[in-house]
Amino acid sequence: MELSTLCDAEIAVFVFSTSGKLFDYASTSTRQVIERRNLFSDGNLANTYQSSLELQAEGEHFKLNKELKEKTRESRQLYGEELQGLTLRDLRKLEVLLNTSLNRISKAKAEAFEQEISILKKEEARLMEENQRLNQEVKFLEENQRLEQVQRLEQDQDLSLLATSFTTRLLFR
């Protein structure tokens, strides 16, 4: 009766003793409380209990959310943030993790440099070959120009000799 008054609730209680004697109490009509309970159970029971799949999904969501928060905290700690409250042991673990990461990064950087050097050496060799080919072409062209100049000079000299000889003939005629 006190609970009914304090909580402003309709209450019905049934108690059976070991001898089988029934004791009951109802703040209002027992039948009214039972009907109300049945109405609530039939209409809203499905809404009050989630399916096992929903519970699993909710549990998985909670787990993933917790994991995300933990990874975010770890990431911040790797950046030197949120270090307050860490024990000396935790700080040493973080230091080892950072040193391991730094070594991996250094190895990856060295490999990237080696690959870049290899590519540049191949490019250098290709450019050297191209340079040799172009030098040979230039030499060939220079030789051809010299030959053409010599031929022109010879032609000019021949023409000049011819002109001289023609002029001399005309004069002596």
At 8 the three-state DSSP class reads: coil
pLDDT, position 50: 53
CA–CA separation, 162 and 173 (whole Å)? 16
Identify whether the C-beta of residue 80 lies closer than 8 Å to the C-beta of residue 98: no
How confident is the model over 37-91, as pLDDT tens digits? 777 765 555 555 555 667 778 888 889 999 999 999 888 888 888 888 889 999 9
Mean pLDDT of 10-26: 86
Q: Locate the domains of the chain by residue range.
A: 1-49, 51-84
Neighbours of 101 (CB within 10 A): 11
Higher local confidence (pLDDT), 117 or 165: 117
pLDDT, position 53: 67
pLDDT, position 42: 55
Identify whether the C-beta of residue 40 lies closer than 8 Å to the C-beta of residue 57: no
pLDDT, position 51: 59
Burial 49-58 (b: 16+ CB within 10 A, else e): eeeeeeeeee
CA–CA separation, 124 and 117 (whole Å)? 10
Closest to 83 in 3D by CA, of 72, 99, 94: 94
pLDDT, position 44: 55
Identify whether the C-beta of residue 11 lies closer than 8 Å to the C-beta of residue 28: no
pLDDT, position 71: 92
Token pair recorded at residue 85 = 């409250």
How confident is the model over 99-138, as pLDDT tens digits? 999 999 999 999 999 999 999 999 999 999 999 999 999 9
Return the residue matching tokens 């975010």: 72
Question: Which CATH number is 1-49's, of 1.20.1290.10, 2.60.120.10, 3.40.1810.10, 3.30.365.10?
Answer: 3.40.1810.10
CA–CA separation, 91 and 98 (whole Å)? 10
